[in-house]
Structure 1
Amino acid sequence: MTKGLHVPSEIGALKKVCLHRPGEELLNLPPFELERLLFDDVPFLEVAQEEHDTFAQILRDQGVEVLYLEKLVAEVFDTVPEAREEFLDQYIAEAGIKGQEMPKVVREKLNSITDNLEFVQKTMAGLTKAEIDMPLHASTTLDSLVNSDSESDLIIDPMPNLYFTRDPFAVVGNGVCLNRMYSVTRNRETLYGKYIFKYHPDYKDVSLYFRRDAAFHTEGGDVLNINEHTLAVGISQRTQAAAIDVMAQNIFWNSDSKVDRILAFDIPNNRAMMHLDTVFTQIDVDKFTIHPAIMGTLKVYELTPGTTPGDVKIKEICDTLEHILEDATGVDQIKLIPCGGGDPIAAAREQWNDGSNTLAVAPGKICVYARNTVTNDVLYKEGLDLLVVPSAELSRGRGGPRCMSMPFWREDL
């Protein structure tokens, strides 16, 4: 049983991965709240769970140990009981609960759940007014009455994006970036990572390269481990350039880290390309899937350690993606495989369903969504071994197999 984290690449044989099985948070998604909660549609939970269970089993069949985010947090509370109270204080403070009385009522409700796994799942699912018995008594305030009759039936928002475990934190080599996420809706998700990396017996000693209370926002979908010395990070809708500065300072001078170069890719700021991993992912030693819209000359910044601790040197690289990746990987000839096989309509459609967002289980062996038939056919013809994940409902959350997984351990190449 390995303790700690070890992810020196995107394609080394995957040995341990963290997932979150979609839960009741998807049942607390009212259609009129979808945009605020960063969803485009309401997934059918039972089918989404079946698809996710198939994904997890595909990984197990490849010899991968599957860890579940909700179970890791429950294990923390089982082994360190006082951590649950500390978590609950912070959870309630960040839950956006309206009214003076309601935080106390919510605390009593959550404290009544004695099983730690059930407790964690409830905090993820959110809380509706129908679940709370609000007594009317002398100390009731106008504020609490007005807010109890407000339009939303949600006392605490659900966290429907949690099955995309790639984003709240990102494993880099032997350490982790615990992120401050772009939206208030998703930033609460990072609370679970905080307690895993603070208290879990297997993960409490890992180095933190970024913290959830940082001034700038970043998300794990923008972080790709090219190799143990080179990290690629997207400057995107979800990750600020200033966050990469912080990352560089914390990674370059940490004895746990071998990374001595960060490539910051400036990518378009839109929902179809919200993260670097929706634009390209590594699938083999010499192959990447890409979104055709990213082709051409890219603006990339190279960050390296300066001569004194804390000093970071930055230079701009204007070159093609092929040349930049050939230099980063040390491979003579990189092959870029376009989503949709280069057909503009197929590319746009399959990019929307994360055709470029693949999870490598080993070099040349990748998890893909079943629905991206055009892209998958191209990948087959390129000699790749495809592990096909059913995706009718999972894809509604706008994230692919890479988005749904956070590797904790990969073998060295």
Structure 2
Amino acid sequence: METIERAKTKEDLTRKNNVLNVTSEIGRLKTVLLHRPGQEVENLTPELLERLLFDDIPYLKVAQEEHDAFAKTLRDCGVEVLYLEGLAAEAIGDKDVKAKFISQFIDEAGVESEGLKAALTEYLNTFSNKEMVDKMMAGIRKEELDSYIRNSLYDQVNDFYPFICDPMPNLYFTRDPFATIANGITLNHMRTQTRNRETIFAKYIFENHPRFKDKDVPLWFNRDETTSLEGGDELILSEKVLAIGISQRTDSASIEKVCKRLFQMNTNFETVLAFHIPASRAFMHLDTVFTMVDYDKFTIHPEIEGPLTVYEITRDKKSASGLKVEKQTMELEAVLEKHLGRKVTLIRCGGGDKIHAAREQWNDGSNTLAIAPGEVVVYSRNHVTNKILESYGIKLHVIPSSELSRGRGGPRCMSMPLYRENL
């Protein structure tokens, strides 16, 4: 009993001192950040799908109902659920911070006309902070500024396009704009301009929100970098081992930058594994093909089994870069067993059946959110994979998914853990 009480006291002290704490993929989830899909989804049109990185248009009413069920599932499991839009609105309570936020948002939206910038600034200031953040996320149509007279060359040449500021429909995938690692974050530079604007909300939250601003949250990566990094490629295999995908969305140079900062700050991480995965839509992020569900179990897309090219990155004080990089070619199972020090089980999406695997991988059957070891949130529509997970003793929390899945992201993609208990 005394040992248990000491452990609780230590955990309480950790929570008091660190507002962020994520040292694994499976430690019991205590606090998570979500974004409830909003009017940005209603601003999707067939012509904009490719530009805004969507393959289909979700039905917002049902998507919101499904997302609410997701949030309720987490709350029912004792998880504190925070919302990106709420934190962002609270972070700009100071009028000077709000003015800077509006100006930066307009600049990053690509608005070039000075007259239009002024009109847009005036328009945004007519809303409450929460309404304004929602409007920024939803996108601003030209018809909303119907009193603005478009005299400039820029205004007239670009008059055909319906938006002044594009919508941000990918925001409900909160995993990507930033990622929690230990007691810090990577504030990411996203691959595309469409998604890079999303990171402005996290920037202002961590710099200005009362919950975070005085906590000296370490930045392992900054959105001002010129190379790309996205949170879906960042997986914490243990308190000592981090995995990052070199992918369609994440550059190898970004991984080196993260490694240097983690090692320079003397974190507990000893090894970063850089997985080189195909640069394709099917392998968009590492977590779309590979997630951890228990101490020794992983869901995988069958095509990620290997052999894989993996770069093992460790500290090297003698090197000019401070890093030692060793290229290896190994099966996924061998990589995981080597670095976790235990036998692992790889659970194939769709059981490895070509038809089931292809269909359920399309709906992110390999993308699960662990809320505790051996306990995960999954999409209902991936029923073949879900049954297989249960056969391995995994406890499932099944959420409705007909519309959320149209965005090509699963429960892990839709969530950013801010605090997990240490294993």
- Scaled by the length of structure 1, the TM-score of the pair is 0.95
Rounded Cα–Cα distance in structure 2 between residues aligned with 1:175 and 1:412: 15
Tell me the residue number matched to 1:76.
Answer: 91
Q: What number of residue pairs does the alignment pair up?
A: 405
Rounded to whole Å, the distance in 2 between the matches of 1:5 and 1:170 is 11
User: Counterparts in 2 of 1:3-402, with a 5 A limit?
Assistant: 4-78=19-93, 80-113=94-127, 115-136=128-149, 140-148=151-159, 150=160, 152-204=161-213, 205-255=216-266, 257-307=267-317, 310-331=321-342, 333-402=343-412
Counterpart CA distance in 1 for 2:152 and 2:323 is 54
1:99 and 1:147 in contact (8 A); partners too: no
* Rounded Cα–Cα distance in structure 1 between residues aligned with 2:263 and 2:133: 35
Letter in 1 for 2:49: L
- CA 404–306 in structure 1, closer or farther in 2 if over 3 Å, else same: same
After superposition, the C-alpha distances for 1:124-170 in whole angstroms (9 at most, x for unaligned) are 11100121123448xx234323423x1x2111100000000000001
Secondary structure at the residue paired with 2:101?
helix
Code of the aligned partner of 1:134: S
Give CA-to-partner distance per residue, 1:342-395, whole Å, 9 cap, x none.
101110111110000000000000000000011111111111100001000000
Q: CA deviation at 1:172?
A: 0.6
Q: Which runs of 5+ in 1 are unaligned?
A: none
Contact 2:240 2:271 (8 Å CA) reproduced: yes
Label 1:98 to 1:89 Cα distance change in 2 as closer, same or farther (>3 A).
Answer: closer
Partner SS, residue 158 of structure 2: helix
Q: Which consecutive aligned stretches of 4+ in structure 1 deviate over 6 angstroms post-superposition?
A: none
Counterpart amino acid of residue 102 in structure 2: L
Between the aligned partners of 1:354 and 1:276, the Cα distance in structure 2 is 12
Q: How much has 1:283 moved relative to structure 2?
A: 0.2
1:319 is displaced (CA, Å) by 1.4
Aligned partners of 1:329 and 1:390: how far apart in 2? 33
Amino acid at match of 2:249: R
TM-score (norm 2): 0.93
- Residues 279 and 135 from structure 1, CA distance in 2 versus in 1: closer, same or farther, beyond 3 angstroms? closer
**Alignment-derived partner of residue 5 in structure 2:** none
**Pairwise CA distance, 1:98:** 5.0
Distance 1:143 1:189, change over 3 A: closer
Distance in structure 1 (CA, Å) of the matches to 2:299 and 2:154: 53
* CA distances 1:234-280 after superposition (whole Å, capped 9, x unpaired): 0000000111011111111114x221210000011111110000111
Q: What is the Cα-based RMSD across aligned positions, in Å?
A: 1.4
